[in-house]
A and B are shown apart, each in its own frame.
Chain A
Amino acid sequence: MSAAAPTAPASRVVRPRKPRPSRLLIGGLVVAAAFTWWAGHSLGFSLRPLIENWSNGWVVIEQFLHPQWSFVWRVREAWVETIAIAIVASGVGVILGLVFAFMASRVTDRSTGLFRATRWFLSVLRSLPDIAYVLIFVALVGIGSLAGILALILFNIGIAAKLTSETIDAVDSGPLEAADASGAGTWARARWAVMPQITPNYLSYCLYIFELNIRSSVVIGIAGGGGIGQVINVQFSRFEYENVAAITVALFVVVLLIDQLSQYLRRRFV
């Protein structure tokens, strides 16, 4: 086609050649497709049960459509526990996370060894799922909300440190230079040159982490970490789906309310 173009009359616009698809992209897509097939194959993946066993599921869903609302109030202590766990865990987690964030940013941490070690420690900390921490602490301190709190603290440190250290990396260097010029030490530099710049973002991360902790209360409880999740687990194993449904809807409402509250607070701070 490109050979014929020059011979064509000048009035015809020469169409630019269509770029050839990159070999990297094709290779990547082939690998992705092969991996998908292999993954589906080894999982025994099939959507057929969705049609065949729909009636099985429908029995459960039908029970879910008739939630027993009175149950929500009957387990009010578990609700208080869930919120208390989230408050304590996010309080401790964000404070420790802030310390780690300062150690994990080049801006505030001028020791290469400590910086590398903190980065490494944090990525290992983040790579374990929250459920693993709950299981570990249940083994150490027994079933109950203490295990949930300790697990969430570790989980929160990972998130808070990552988000905050990225914010620290991006601070304006003016105040840093001013602090350096006036002979500020590492601590004074962090407190007076960096901290005021990151405070609005940091506070909004704190709220975000608190929300996350409320959301993960189901997971925490199912593994034995106390709160509303534990109630869900017990009701689920007794096949009391009406109660589970009521709690799920109530949890949804609680999450929405806390979302609204934290959005309001965020507007006030930021």
Chain B
Amino acid sequence: MSAPPVTASSTRTARPAEPSKAKATLVWIALLVIFGGAAFLSNARWSQITGVFTDGWRYLELMLEGLVQNPFAEPWSGYWTLAIEKMLESVYMAWVGTLIGALISIPFGFLAARNVAGPVTVQLTRAVLNLIRAVPELVFAIIIMLPIFGFGPVAGTVALGVGAVGTLGKLTAEALEGIDPGPVEAARASGARRLSVLRWAYWSQVLPEVVAFWLYRFEINIRASAVLGIIGAGGVGQLLGQLFGQREWEQIGITLAVIIAVTLMVDAISGGIRHRIIAGSGSGAKATEEETASL
């Protein structure tokens, strides 16, 4: 082989000195110390982790047992029906909640866009949106919705709606700031009134993107609606809370399977529509072309 001459020549060229690794090492040590400190300060009873391996298998077996039973015989049919019913309630909550959030977020989005509103309005609106974003839906539900709407899915729905305003408003504002100024100028030049400019020059340009955000938020809200059930605001979370309280592992298995199946299905449909909206925002022929190109 030609290896020996190559190494002979390469020993002659001075190799650049390796950069010092001291800084990287220090960062790693610091991270390890922080991690160790956190593991200690978290008050976690680490010895109980064995429960995951001992009980875990037993419970998993019980859950799977519930799944393989004939779903059309009593009592299993009832479990499946209840789980599907409650999961659908969660989907409804997420849908209506997202819709409420979407409608409220439109004016907020316009007011928070620098190329639409004045600097003071933008700052104020952004502060409100950040505030909403920082407060979890759960807190909205506890503070405002439960006392007003009582326990039940409506409280959860409104909480999801208010919670969605923060992110949707911010994303809408960012989309508005990224538009092409050409149509705006054209509309102004043709003497369009302010409202017409907003509707036909701004809104038309961002509509596909914004609707895609709404759908994406809908997917997120399906998961969030499960959380709200825990405090009694309806949906599949309420059922899960009860079942875990009673340790009904077979029924838990069925409910979790329903949650996974429905979530994956809704994600697939909503994701498909989102891609179609984003890719097919132009004319039909162009859209199909783009789609086949991306396949």
Contacts and interface: CB of A to CB of B under 8 A. Distances in A.
Interface of A: 19, 22, 28, 35-36, 38-40, 42-47, 49-50, 53-54, 56-57, 59-61, 64, 77, 80-81, 83-85, 87-88, 91, 123-124, 127-132, 135-142, 144-146, 149-150, 215-216, 218-219, 222-223, 226, 232, 236, 241, 244-245, 248, 252, 255-256
Contacts of B142: 232, 236, 244
Query: What range describes how many residues of B lie at the interface?
Result: 35 or more
A142 B45 CA distance: 9
A64 B143 contact: yes
Contacts of A256: 134
B43 A81 contact: yes
A88 B38 contact: yes
B99 A36 contact: yes
Contacts of B52: 137, 140-141, 150
B244 A139 contact: yes
Q: Is the interface of A mostly helix, strand, loop or mixed?
A: helix
Given A60-B143, A127-B259, A135-B241, A43 B157 contact: yes
Interface stretch (B3-11, B13-21, B88-96): B88-96
Nearest to B42: A84
B227 A130 contact: yes
A131 B267 contact: no
Contacts of B237: 129, 131
Contact of B227 (A56, A81, A131, A252): A131
A215 B240 CA distance: 22
A49 B241 CA distance: 26
Contacts of B144: 57, 60-61
Nearest to B244: A135
Contact of A141 (B49, B134, B147): B49
A130 to B, nearest CB: 7
Contacts of B154: 43-46, 49
B41 interface: yes
B120 interface: no
Contact of A127 (B91, B230, B234, B260): B260
5 contacts: A53-B148, A87-B34, A138-B244, A145-B42, A219-B227
A28 B277 CA distance: 11
Interface string B43-54: 111101101100
Contact of A128 (B148, B260, B273): B260
A149 B42 contact: yes
Given A139-B55, A146-B44, A244-B143, 10 more contacts: A19-B283, A60-B143, A87-B34, A127-B264, A132-B256, A139-B59, A142-B45, A144-B43, A236-B231, A252-B135
A138 B243 CA distance: 13
Contact of A49 (B51, B150, B223): B150
A84 B41 contact: yes
Contact of A56 (B55, B148, B229, B283): B148
Contacts of A252: 131, 134-135
B38 A83 contact: yes
B263 interface: yes
Nearest to A77: B43
Interface string B253-273: 000100110011001000001
A23 to B, nearest CB: 10
B49 A146 contact: yes
B247 A135 contact: no
Contact of A131 (B41, B89, B240): B240
B136 interface: yes
